[in-house]
Every structure is written in structure tokens, then in C-alpha cells.
């Protein structure tokens, strides 16, 4: 049996190397409407899982790296933590998100706004998806009251039916007065 060895330095996905078009390589590279489509999620949030009467987690979502990255830092009341990095790739005209949690779970999803203005990202059409894998689809919906619903669904039958993995409501934290 022959083995193939590749230095980790050369094992990065090619799509991560996609250069931005010259038209967006300026100081204001990430200020287009497409780059700002996920701004409704930015904030400091209490997250309440469906069926719960109080927050089960907190999440801080911010813009970093010149406004080109949306970073999420997520912490549950039980101590689980995770972070995501989301960004708009102007060359592919897609949003990408990478999630990593303290349980070692990683998720790579991509997509964009649907006709209703919801951000819908899924792993089905990514380089990391192979037919027969579980399909993950996460939908973020900005609500009229300023909250955001995050609905994570999975499918084991190629998208014919969906099960809810997580359904959470993000409500902005109320700043506490200084003592």
C-alpha cells in the first residue's frame, strides 16, 4: 500500500486563497451592501433555546478585521463555548461560516440571503460535503422586535425532510448601569 504524505502547510483549501477582485481591494473593501447583509446579527445577545423560559447562553457578535469578518463568541450556562467566523466572498458572491466548538465539532457552511431577507447557510454545496453526509442548514431571521431567530436544521435523506437541531432566539442584552 502506498501512502501519500503532504506537509500541513500545503493542505489548505484552494478556495480560501481566492483573491478579492481589484474593485474591492481598498480600505473600504467590506462596506458593500452584500458585505453588510449579516449586520442584523451583530450585538451582545442572550440566547434562549426553544422551550426554555430563560436564556441558556450568551453570544457576542462583532465585526473584526476592518469590518470584513463577523465573529461570534458563544457560551452556554453549562460552560460549552464555541466561535464562528463569517465573511462574504465577493469573488464567489457567497457568505461562508466556519464554526468550532469546545467539543471538537466543526461546521463549514455557505449561502446567502433568501427572498425573505433571511440568511441561510448550509454545508450541502461546500467542498467538505459528500453525498450521504448529514446536511446542515442554519437560517437567521431578523425579527421586527430587534431579536434574531437562529434555526439549525439537519437532514439525513438528502433534504427530503428536516429535523430541528437547535432553535434559539437572540435577544439583545440590556446594558447594566455602572455601580
Task: Look at residue 2 in the predicted model and tell me its pLDDT.
Answer: 45
DSSP state of 26: S
Residue 138 within any structural domain of the chain: yes
Burial of 100-129, coded b for 16+ CB within 10 Å and e otherwise, reads eeeeeeebbbbbbeeeeebbbbbbbebeeb
Task: Look at residue 128 in the predicted model and tell me its pLDDT.
Answer: 78
Residue 99 within any structural domain of the chain: yes
State the residue range of the domain holding 51: 30-170
Taking only the tens place, the pLDDT of each residue in 62-119 is: 999 999 999 999 999 999 999 999 999 999 999 999 999 999 989 999 999 999 999 9
Model confidence band, residue 177 (pLDDT cutoffs 50, 70, 90): confident
Task: Look at residue 11 in the predicted model and tell me its pLDDT.
Answer: 39
Q: Which of 72, 63, 65 is nearest to 36 (CA)?
A: 63
Task: Look at residue 82 in the predicted model and tell me its pLDDT.
Answer: 97
Q: Which of 70, 58, 91 is nearest to 174 (CA)?
A: 58
Residue 20 within any structural domain of the chain: no
Helix (H, G, I), strand (E, B) or coil at 74: strand
- By percentage, how much of the chain surpasses pLDDT 90? 73
Signed CA dihedral, 4, 10, 12, 16: sign only: negative
Residue 86 within any structural domain of the chain: yes
Looking at the predicted structure, is the pLDDT value of residue 20 above 60?
no
Model confidence band, residue 17 (pLDDT cutoffs 50, 70, 90): low
Model confidence band, residue 33 (pLDDT cutoffs 50, 70, 90): very high
Secondary structure in 3-state letters for 116-165? CCCEEEECCCCCCCCCCCCEEEEEEEECCCCCEEEEEEEECCCCCCCEEE
CATH, residue 87:
2.40.128.20
Q: Could you give the number of structural domains in the chain?
A: 1
pTM to 2 decimal places: 0.81
53 or 132: which carries more pLDDT confidence? 53
Residue 24 within any structural domain of the chain: no
Q: Which of 15-24, 31-40, 116-125, 129-138 shows the lowest per-residue confidence on average (mean pLDDT)?
A: 15-24
Over residues 140-167, the mean pLDDT reads: 97
Q: How many C-beta atoms surround the C-beta of residue 7 within 10 A? A: 6
Contacts of residue 93, defined as CB under 8 A and 6 or more positions apart, other chains included, come to 34, 112
Residue 141 within any structural domain of the chain: yes
Amino acid at each position: 500500500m502506498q501512502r501519500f504524505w503532504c506537509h500541513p502547510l500545503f493542505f489548505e483549501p484552494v478556495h480560501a486563497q481566492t483573491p478579492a477582485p481589484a474593485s474591492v481591494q481598498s480600505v473600504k473593501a467590506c462596506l458593500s451592501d452584500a458585505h453588510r447583509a449579516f449586520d442584523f446579527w451583530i450585538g451582545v445577545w442572550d440566547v434562549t433555546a426553544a422551550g426554555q423560559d430563560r436564556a441558556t447562553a450568551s453570544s457576542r457578535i462583532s465585526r473584526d478585521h476592518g469590518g470584513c469578518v463577523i465573529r461570534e463568541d458563544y457560551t452556554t450556562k453549562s460552560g460549552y463555548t464555541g466561535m464562528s467566523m463569517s465573511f462574504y466572498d465577493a469573488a464567489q458572491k457567497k457568505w461562508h461560516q466556519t464554526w468550532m466548538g469546545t467539543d471538537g465539532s466543526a461546521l463549514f457552511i455557505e449561502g446567502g440571503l433568501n427572498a425573505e431577507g433571511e440568511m441561510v447557510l448550509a454545508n450541502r454545496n461546500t467542498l467538505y460535503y459528500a453525498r450521504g453526509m448529514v446536511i446542515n442548514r442554519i437560517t437567521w431571521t431578523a425579527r421586527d422586535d430587534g431579536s434574531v431567530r437562529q434555526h439549525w436544521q439537519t437532514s439525513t435523506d438528502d433534504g427530503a425532510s428536516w429535523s430541528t437541531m437547535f432553535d434559539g432566539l437572540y435577544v439583545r442584552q440590556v446594558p447594566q448601569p455602572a455601580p
